[in-house]
Structure formats: C-alpha cells, structure tokens
C-alpha cells in the first residue's frame, strides 16, 4: 500500500492513530484514505489551531454535501474515531456525535442487469482492443466470474493464479471483507471458462502461482480505476444508460447474482427460507441482514412470490375446507 501523505498540523497524530488501528489487527486502508481527505481539508482551510474544535468539524461536514448520505457517514465516522483518539493529547478536542445509520433504502439503488444486457456486455468485452491481446479475454472472464459467483470486485482483483483449485472446482477468496477468507464453489461452465482464460494468461509473465490472475496491459494487477474506465464505455456500447451518481455499476453484478439466484430457486420450487443462509455464506456475509440488501424485488421475482403464496393459500383452503 502506498503511504498516505499527511501534511496538516495533526499529521503525526493521524499517522499514529492509523498505525495503532493496524497494530490491533485492522486493515484500516480505506479508513486511512478517508482520514487523508480530512487532512487535506485541514491544509486547504489553513487551519492552524492546536485543537480540533466544533467549528472545524462543522465546516468539514458541510464540505461533504456533494457526497451521498452513506459517503458522508463513512467519512464522519472515521473522523469521530480520530477525535476520540486525540482527546488523549488534548481533552478539549471536540468529538462529533455519530451520524444516524444510513439504511439500505436510502443507499444508492441497485441495478439488476437483464440476461440480454449481460450477454451484450460480455460480447462487447470480447471486442476490446488491442486486438489479439489478453485484455478482451481478461474482461470477458472478469465479468462472467462476477456474475456467476457474486464475488466483490475487490475480491476478484485480489485473486492469484493459485486461487483457482481445478480439482475441487472452487475459488479461494483469501482477502474477503473484514479479512474473512472463504471457498467459493464454481459451476462446471464457470470452471471451463476460467481454465480457458488461465491457459491464455499463463503465456504472459509474471505467471508464478502467487502472481495476479487478472492482468492489465502493463502486466500489473487489475485495479478499480482501470476496470471502471473500461466498464463505462462498455455500457455505452450496449446502450445501457448510466451516470456516476445513479449507476449502473460493476458492483451491481453482485446484486444481479443474488436476485437471479433467488429467482432460480423460486422457478425450481425450492424452499427459499432454507437456502437463504446458504446464499449469505456463499456471498461472504456475516448475517442475513447483509444479504437482504442485495435482494431487490424485481417484477419477475415478485410474480413468482405472488404465485407461490397463491398456491400455498389454495392448498391451505383445500386441506382445511372452506372457512365460510
């Protein structure tokens, strides 16, 4: 990880706080980046006071108005943690009140890709330039893997060549959210597609087991910024309306996976309640509440839910007789 450049009056204390969190076993990379934004604010505002005051915090919070409610909450959360830490050195440090939890309903609305849109995106990926390079196959395989497994984009970027266990037909996610590792079972078709990509990938160096599975054109590990800059033109090419504020996003492949899996279970007549905990485990969630965020009710899904309830109601009436 590239060291965060901190230059404000509190730079040493901020760096000490980040180091303390990491020493306690926390990754704290993304939170450290958010503290870097706070440090930049302090520099830009030319704040030279020896203490973090209420006025400084209120001005910083006002500067976040362009962000989503969840984005504002995330930034203020780490600033609050920092202020609690700073009270060790100056008891007069102002500690902001925690912001109200942002519910899943106020978060950015997910986009559920249709089967035809998924086909179009993957076909467009195969047409990426340079012609004859690994890049088209990289993005074709990446998009297919995101949809067929529902893994996070960060988890996909962190995959190495050794992460794919061909004998067990599984993918090892070593760097999941909250440092949780897990095995992800793959379908036969996904295994075939992944193996086909790896056969092409091994021609390119570096190609030891510890090297990245997905490479960019500079033969480095794929990163978020590179993926997003490639994905946006693919949406345009497939006539899928999008914007930075409203999506659709590449993260919506994960939402689509969850909704389509639930829909397939309904179509197969399976017990949904018995399988939802399995879906939560597969997606790397700590509880069902986290999984529910991904289960956006689509028109087709609601139709299947309605049909099942209707059938259940008729079965209850038939077994108990007409209650009238």
Instruction: State how far the Cα of 269 lies from the Cα of 282, in Å rounded to an integer.
Output: 20
pTM above 0.85, yes or no: no
Q: What whole-number percentage of the chain has pLDDT above 90?
A: 62
Give the pLDDT band (50/70/90) at residue 288.
confident
Q: Which residue has the higher pLDDT, 267 or 319?
A: 267
Q: Are 135 and 142 in contact (CB under 8 A)?
A: no
* Whether the predicted pLDDT of 57 surpasses 80: yes
Q: How confident is the model at residue 304 (pLDDT cuts 50, 70, 90)?
A: low
pLDDT in tens, 176-202: 776 678 999 999 999 999 999 999 999
> What integer best gives the mean pLDDT of the chain?
87
Mean pLDDT (whole number) for 291-300:
79
pLDDT at 103 over 80: no
Chain segment 253-278, per-residue pLDDT in tens: 999 999 999 999 988 888 888 898 99
Which of 67-71, 82-86, 203-207, 304-308 has the lowest average pLDDT?
Answer: 304-308
Give pLDDT, residue 1.
43
Closest CA to 202 of 211, 189, 190: 211
The string over 47-84, giving b where at least 16 C-beta atoms fall within 10 Å of a residue's C-beta and e elsewhere, is: beeeebeeebbeebeebbeeeeebebbbbbebbbbbbe
């Amino acid at each position: 990880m590239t060291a965060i450049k901190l230059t404000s009056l509190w730079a040493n204390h901020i760096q000490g706080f980040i180091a303390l969190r990491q020493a306690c076993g926390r990754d704290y990379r993304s939170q450290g980046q958010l503290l870097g934004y706070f440090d930049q604010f302090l520099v830009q505002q030319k704040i030279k006071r020896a203490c973090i005051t209420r006025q400084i915090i209120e001005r910083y919070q006002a500067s976040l108005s362009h962000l989503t409610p969840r984005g504002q909450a995330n930034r203020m959360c780490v600033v609050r943690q920092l202020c609690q830490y700073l009270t060790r050195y100056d008891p007069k440090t102002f500690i902001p009140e925690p912001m109200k939890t942002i519910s899943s309903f106020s978060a950015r609305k997910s986009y559920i890709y249709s089967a035809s849109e998924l086909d179009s995106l993957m076909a467009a990926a195969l047409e990426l330039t340079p012609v004859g390079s690994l890049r088209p196959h990289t993005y074709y395989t990446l998009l297919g893997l995101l949809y067929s497994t529902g893994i996070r984009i960060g988890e996909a970027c962190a995959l190495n060549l050794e992460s794919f266990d061909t004998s067990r037909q599984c993918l090892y996610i070593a760097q999941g959210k909250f440092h949780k590792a897990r095995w992800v079972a793959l379908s036969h078709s996904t295994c075939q597609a992944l193996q086909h990509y790896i056969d092409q990938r091994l021609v390119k160096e570096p190609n030891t087991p510890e090297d990245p599975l997905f490479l960019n054109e500079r033969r480095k590990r794929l990163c978020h910024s590179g993926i997003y800059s490639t994905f946006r033109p693919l949406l345009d090419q497939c006539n899928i309306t999008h914007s930075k504020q409203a999506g659709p996003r590449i993260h919506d492949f994960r939402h689509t996976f969850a909704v389509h899996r639930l829909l397939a279970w309904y179509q197969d007549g399976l017990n949904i309640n018995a399988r939802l905990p399995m879906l939560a485990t597969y997606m790397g969630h700590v509880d069902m509440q986290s999984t529910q965020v991904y289960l956006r009710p689509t028109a087709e899904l609601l139709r299947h839910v309605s049909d099942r309830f209707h059938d259940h109601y008729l079965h209850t009436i038939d077994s108990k007789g007409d209650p009238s």
